[in-house]
Amino acid sequence: MSLTKETKSDIIKQFGGSEQNTGQAEVQIAIFSRRIRELTEHLRAHPKDNHTRHGLLKLVGKRKKLLAYLNKTDIERYRKVLADLDLRK
Protein backbone atom coordinates (compact mmCIF):
# COMPACT_ATOMS: atom_id res chain seq x y z
CA MET A 1 0.00 0.00 0.00
CA SER A 2 2.94 2.35 0.44
CA LEU A 3 4.86 3.95 -2.39
CA THR A 4 7.88 2.19 -3.82
CA LYS A 5 11.27 3.87 -3.83
CA GLU A 6 11.22 4.21 -7.61
CA THR A 7 7.78 5.83 -7.65
CA LYS A 8 8.72 8.24 -4.90
CA SER A 9 11.99 9.21 -6.61
CA ASP A 10 10.13 9.82 -9.88
CA ILE A 11 7.70 12.13 -8.10
CA ILE A 12 10.58 13.95 -6.41
CA LYS A 13 12.39 14.45 -9.75
CA GLN A 14 9.22 15.66 -11.46
CA PHE A 15 8.14 18.19 -8.84
CA GLY A 16 11.38 19.01 -7.02
CA GLY A 17 13.88 19.18 -9.83
CA SER A 18 16.46 16.91 -8.20
CA GLU A 19 16.56 13.85 -5.94
CA GLN A 20 17.73 15.93 -2.98
CA ASN A 21 14.83 18.40 -3.05
CA THR A 22 12.33 16.42 -0.98
CA GLY A 23 11.14 19.15 1.37
CA GLN A 24 9.63 21.45 -1.21
CA ALA A 25 5.88 21.91 -0.74
CA GLU A 26 5.09 20.75 -4.28
CA VAL A 27 6.95 17.47 -3.74
CA GLN A 28 5.17 16.77 -0.47
CA ILE A 29 1.77 17.58 -1.98
CA ALA A 30 2.46 15.27 -4.93
CA ILE A 31 3.50 12.40 -2.65
CA PHE A 32 0.46 12.89 -0.44
CA SER A 33 -1.80 12.99 -3.50
CA ARG A 34 -0.39 9.73 -4.81
CA ARG A 35 -0.88 8.02 -1.44
CA ILE A 36 -4.40 9.43 -1.16
CA ARG A 37 -5.24 7.98 -4.57
CA GLU A 38 -3.92 4.55 -3.55
CA LEU A 39 -5.76 4.57 -0.22
CA THR A 40 -8.98 5.61 -1.93
CA GLU A 41 -8.73 2.60 -4.24
CA HIS A 42 -8.06 0.35 -1.24
CA LEU A 43 -11.13 1.69 0.55
CA ARG A 44 -13.32 1.03 -2.49
CA ALA A 45 -12.38 -2.65 -2.21
CA HIS A 46 -12.50 -2.71 1.62
CA PRO A 47 -15.19 -0.26 2.76
CA LYS A 48 -15.12 -1.30 6.43
CA ASP A 49 -11.39 -0.69 6.94
CA ASN A 50 -11.67 2.16 9.42
CA HIS A 51 -7.98 2.29 10.31
CA THR A 52 -7.12 3.06 6.69
CA ARG A 53 -9.95 5.59 6.53
CA HIS A 54 -8.47 7.40 9.55
CA GLY A 55 -5.03 7.49 7.90
CA LEU A 56 -6.57 8.76 4.68
CA LEU A 57 -8.30 11.62 6.48
CA LYS A 58 -5.03 12.59 8.18
CA LEU A 59 -3.25 12.68 4.80
CA VAL A 60 -6.01 14.80 3.28
CA GLY A 61 -5.66 17.26 6.16
CA LYS A 62 -1.89 17.48 5.74
CA ARG A 63 -2.25 18.07 2.01
CA LYS A 64 -4.88 20.73 2.63
CA LYS A 65 -2.56 22.59 5.02
CA LEU A 66 0.32 22.47 2.53
CA LEU A 67 -1.93 23.73 -0.26
CA ALA A 68 -3.11 26.60 1.95
CA TYR A 69 0.50 27.49 2.72
CA LEU A 70 1.45 27.42 -0.94
CA ASN A 71 -1.59 29.53 -1.86
CA LYS A 72 -0.63 32.11 0.75
CA THR A 73 3.06 32.31 -0.16
CA ASP A 74 3.21 31.82 -3.96
CA ILE A 75 -0.03 31.74 -5.95
CA GLU A 76 1.67 30.82 -9.25
CA ARG A 77 3.29 27.67 -7.80
CA TYR A 78 -0.05 26.84 -6.18
CA ARG A 79 -1.91 27.06 -9.49
CA LYS A 80 0.77 25.00 -11.25
CA VAL A 81 0.53 22.23 -8.64
CA LEU A 82 -3.27 22.16 -8.95
CA ALA A 83 -3.00 21.88 -12.72
CA ASP A 84 -0.24 19.25 -12.68
CA LEU A 85 -1.94 17.00 -10.12
CA ASP A 86 -5.43 17.58 -11.53
CA LEU A 87 -6.75 18.80 -8.18
CA ARG A 88 -9.71 21.10 -7.92
CA LYS A 89 -10.02 24.05 -5.66
**Tens of pLDDT, residue by residue, the chain (89 residues):** 678 999 999 999 999 888 888 889 999 999 999 999 999 999 999 999 999 999 999 999 999 999 999 999 999 999 999 999 999 87
Cα separation of 66 and 38, whole Å? 19
Q: Which residue type occupies 14? A: Q
Q: Look at the chain and report how many structural domains it folds into.
A: 1
Angle at 76 between CA 70 and CA 81, to 5 degrees: 65
CATH number at residue 60: 1.10.287.10
How far, in Å, CA of 25 to CA of 22, rounded? 8
Dist. CA 13–CA 72, nearest whole Å? 24
Question: pTM of the predicted model, to two decimals?
Answer: 0.92
Quote the strand ranges of the chain, DSSP E.
none
Give residue 27's domain range: 5-85
